[in-house]
Amino acid sequence: MSESLALADVSTGERPSRRTPLSKDDLARLIARDIEPGSFVNLGVGQPTSVSNHLRPEQNVTLHTENGMLGMGREARGEEVDDDLINAGKIPVTELPGASYFHHGDSFGMMRGGHLDVCVMGAFQVSTNGDLANWSTGAPDAIPAVGGAMDLAIGARQTWVMMTLFAKDGSCKIVPELTFPATGRDCVSRIYTPDAVFVIEEGRTLIRETYGCDPAELRDRMGVDVGLPHRD
């Protein structure tokens, strides 16, 4: 089995059931589980921020947020909320011992300088060779929202995507070629969805594992040329 297809599970306990699609919470937990101990990680605006709620202290993961913080903790709750302590998505967060704060420009320097091991972002589309589109649909009334996505997609050592596999119209969001404006080219290495986890190797997307469906059936539904899981 290819090394990248092997599960990077660093936790104890059971993995989510494969009998049904993953809930948002289970998907976030799976991504958190797959992050290697000691990593420096950026979690993109939106659903990826929930990954912070499932990181365990023993993983020693340091979270970076592009508005200028290292050592971010999980989302703040109740009396923990400090309106001056937020992530890039303006969600109140906690801080871990040793947390530090810095200028926005320094934060982008970390992103562009290759100092982040992993970034997790949402997406409108990912091509089968790893191109990413997540800042605009290109529609006339679309409001562009690139933020630091381009810097993260290219600057991080690994770019992981967390998204639904199918759009509201039923079309697959993994596509042979992007039809939306590109955020970055050949940058995505993993795609996490409620239906399956995919890895991208040497310009090809492969199914790592599926949830609630058979890999071959899912590939037929997707209508995209993706590889099936390797079997020992």
pLDDT, tens digit only, all 232 positions of the chain: 333 333 333 344 456 777 899 999 999 999 999 999 999 999 999 899 999 999 999 999 999 999 999 999 999 999 999 998 999 889 999 999 999 999 999 999 999 999 999 999 999 999 999 999 999 988 888 887 788 999 999 999 999 999 999 999 999 999 999 999 999 999 999 999 999 999 999 999 999 999 999 999 999 999 999 999 876 4
Cα radius of gyration (the chain): 17
Cross-sheet strand order for the sheet of 132-133: 132-133, 125-127, 174-175
Phi, psi of 228 (to 5 degrees): -85, 160
Report whether 83 contacts 92 (CB < 8 A). Answer: yes
Distance (Å, rounded) from C-alpha 107 to C-alpha 154? 15
pLDDT digits (tens, 9 = 90+) for 180-194: 999 999 999 999 999
Distance (Å, rounded) from C-alpha 15 to C-alpha 117? 23
Look at the block and give the residue holding tokens 């937990």: 29
Distance (Å, rounded) from C-alpha 159 to C-alpha 185? 11
- Grouping H, G, I as helix, E, B as strand and the rest as coil, residue 57 is helix
- Catalytic, 66? Answer yes
**This prediction's pTM:** 0.90
Report whether 23 contacts 50 (CB < 8 A). Answer: no
Paired with 222 in beta bridges are none
Distance (Å, rounded) from C-alpha 153 to C-alpha 176? 19
Length of the chain: 232
pLDDT of amino acid 10: 39
pLDDT of amino acid 171: 97
**Which among 3, 36, 58, 66 is annotated as catalytic?**
66
- The neighbour count for residue 100, using CB atoms within 10 Å, is 10
Nearest to 65 by CA among 53, 80, 52, 76: 52
Look at the block and give the residue holding tokens 């509201």: 168
Distance (Å, rounded) from C-alpha 193 to C-alpha 41? 19
